[in-house]
Amino acid sequence: MARKKRVAAQGRTVTTVAFVLGREECAVPITDVHQIIRDVPVTPVPNVNEHVEGVLNLRGVVVPILDLKHRLGLGVRTLGPRHRLLILEIEGRLVGFSVDAVTGVLEFEESALQPPPDIVLARMEAGFIRGVVTRADSVVILLDTKEVLNVRTTHPAAEAHPAVARAREF
């Protein structure tokens, strides 16, 4: 937690974990990353949003796992030898993002963050993107993790039981 405050206070250097979703390179703030694990079996959950793969038992904590590629409208995940689960802690809750590969840690000056070009917005929902950072040979999309988790549709079961509503938030 102290690190998160330090980065926010400086406002100059942003440290992220970069990963690949299909042909797109994306990143999330490293302060949101709890851990990175190899692909493990996920227990499917019926009647949830189609981008929810299921849940994972992570040392006694049930963690929902999202197919991030599907959530962003980039197709469905493909399993490969480099496939990973990014376990994030967002607003005190753990959630997993299924990604094709983790490429490493990326640091950049906050001033280097640019609005995404229209071509990027044509492939992904604009609210999911905080901005883009150019590298020598590519563009990295910085995701807004809170917005990726925001669900705008209400499921009928959510009105029936509060516990079900919380489970369906993802």
66 vs 90: CA distance, rounded Å: 14
Bridge partner residues of 89 (DSSP): 94
54's torsion region: left (phi>0), alpha (psi -120 to 50) or beta?
A: left
**In which band, very low, low, confident or very high, does the pLDDT at 2 lie, cut at 50, 70 and 90?**
very low
Cα(30)–Cα(18) distance, integer angstroms: 9
What CATH number labels 2-167?
Answer: 2.40.50.180
Q: What are 33-86's pLDDT values in tens digits?
A: 999 999 788 888 888 877 888 899 999 999 999 888 888 877 776 777 788 999
CB atoms within 10 A of CB 31: 18
Which residue has better confidence, 120 or 5?
Answer: 120
pLDDT tens digits for range 142-154: 998 888 887 543 3
pTM for the model stands at 0.76
User: Can you read off the two tokens belonging to residue 113?
Assistant: 């963050």
By CB atoms closer than 10 A (0-12, 13-18, 19+), residue 13 is: exposed
